[in-house]
Amino acid sequence: MSSKKDWPLWEVFIRSRQGMSHKHAGSLHAADAEMAITNARDVYTRRQEGASIWVVPSDQITASTPEDKEMMFDPANDKIYRHPTFYNLPDELEHM
Amino acid sequence: MENINLLERFDAYVAANKKIEPKDWMPDAYRKTLIRQISQHAHSEIVGMLPEGNWITRAPSLKRKAILLAKVQDEAGHGLYLYSAAETLGIDRDELIQQLHDGRAKYSSIFNYPTLTWADMGAIGWLVDGAAIMNQVPLCKCSYGPYARAMVRVCKEESFHQRQGYEIMMTLANGTPEQKQMAQDSLNRWWWPALMMFGPADDNSPNSERSMRWKIKLFSNDELRQRMVDMTVPQAEMLGLTIPDPDLKYKEETGHYDFGEIQWEEFYNVIKGNGPCNKQRIATRKKAYDDGAWVREAANAHAEKKAKRKTKAA
Ligand SMILES: [Fe+2]
Ligand SMILES: [Fe+2]
């Protein structure tokens, strides 16, 4: 018998159809990966929402911390020259 | 000092309609209130399966049985989406379930009423799921990301619940006089409890203001209740059924229906645990949980054995 009463938590990612990437759908509890896939089928794809499922133990995910948000993402703020609209070109110019 | 700063930022953030995600700083009271609200909601989905589960084996046709099974299965799914959302706030599923079982947590009072006839499957879908939709659609825009996302999934699925219920009512209302009477009787029993689902009157709902500021409640109880009445009256007329309220009257000036006084005594009595089915519902939940204990343990043991075999092989 296991010491842990509750089954571990898994994050579920679903590919809605061939050609799309897997997208986070939610989480669920399951004893192992196999059961997590089966449960994910029942919980998240009752209406043909899925063509493929990934499950990942929640405690295996490393996330950036919210406190670092500014440090991580603000440097991109002042680099508007990375966007095509930054460049002033004549209206007559076509196909660009 | 630090906290005041964080709190100001949080308030401004929420006021600007931005979303809070699990790891973001949030006031303790926000976290606690959300855990209570989301878990209450989850418990309601789970306990809500029981009154309908009562009729799965007695559905009048294979088609109705398949539909009812699918609906009840959806409600289980809703419960699971919501438990997951609650867990992102740092509480264990097991703890939430214990809270339900020992009476510390509440669920919607509507599920403490019995389902006496097949027509109740119609009335529940039409009115109870209808009221749930009214409550839940605004929550798709609430301030807590995981809750809002769970609500989007739930609302997508609820529409079929209400429509299948209305269709049952329609079939009965167009059937024999006895069948029509059965539908009327069911409407008579579910109407008032369905209106109570929106909670106490606004002047009796002390935490509403704070929850609305936090955007985890988007409209007041009375606002939503009025919407429910306005929406449902024409639907009842279309069925040729009568809403059991002698004071119900359309007011040209306001464009809304006036309706009679709600029996709040009954509401508080059911919440306190004295509704017709409170004890039975919790006893059924507990039994299902306890009877399933060996399955949970066996699955754990199996998973451990498999994991060991895998490390040995490697
Ligand atoms: Fe539901
Ligand atoms: Fe529903």
Nearest to B19 by CA among B310, B214, B180: B214
B169-188: burial string, b at 16+ Cβ within 10 Å, e else: bbebbeeeeeebebbbbbbe
- How far is residue B310's CA from residue B297's CA, in Å, rounded to a whole number? 20
Residues of chain B contacting A47 with CB distance shorter than 8 Å: 157
Q: Is B86 exposed, middle or buried (0-12, 13-18, 19+ CB in 10 A)?
A: buried
CA–centroid distance, B52 to ligand 1, in Å, is 12
Residue A1 to residue B92, Cβ atoms within 8 A: no
Hey, is the C-beta of B86 within 8 angstroms of any chain A C-beta?
Answer: no
Nearest CA in chain B to A68: B24
Kindly give, in sequence order, each residue whose CB lies less than 8 Å from that of residue B162, ignoring residues fewer than 6 positions away: B125, B126, B129, B130, B133
Instruction: Give the CA angle between residues B217, B222, B224 to the nearest 5°.
Output: 60
CA–centroid distance, B71 to ligand 2, in Å, is 7
C-alpha torsion sign, points B47, B52, B58, B61:
negative
Of B23, B93, B150, the CB nearest to A66: B23
Q: How far is A43 from chain B (nearest CA, A)?
A: 5
pLDDT at A77: 86
First-last CA distance in chain A? 66
Residue B81 to residue A1, Cβ atoms within 8 A: no
- Which of B45, B84, B89 should be substituted to probe chain A, the one whose Cβ sees the most A Cβ atoms within 10 Å? B84
Of A7, A43, A66, the CB nearest to B300: A7
Residue A26 to residue B150, Cβ atoms within 8 A: yes
- How far is residue B192's CA from residue B282's CA, in Å, rounded to a whole number? 23
Give the CATH architecture of domain A4-63: Roll (3.10)
Instruction: Give the CA angle between residues B113, B269, B100 to the nearest 5°.
Output: 70
pLDDT in tens, B218-235: 999 999 999 999 999 999
Share of chain A above pLDDT 70, in %: 95
pLDDT in tens, B18-65: 999 999 999 999 999 999 999 999 999 999 999 999 999 999 999 999
Residue A31 to residue B296, Cβ atoms within 8 A: yes
* CA distances, B302 to each of A91, B189, B292 (Å): 68, 48, 16
Residues of chain A contacting B23 with CB distance shorter than 8 Å: 63, 65-66
Nearest CA in chain B to A31: B300
For residue A9, the surrounding DSSP H or E stretch is: strand A9-15
pLDDT at A76: 85
Q: How confident is the model at residue A96 (pLDDT cuts 50, 70, 90)?
A: confident
- How far is residue B314's CA from residue B311's CA, in Å, rounded to a whole number? 5
Q: For residues B123 and B190, is the Cβ–Cβ distance under 8 A?
A: yes
User: What integer best gives the mean pLDDT of chain A?
Assistant: 91
pLDDT in tens, B270-303: 999 999 999 999 999 999 999 999 999 999 999 9
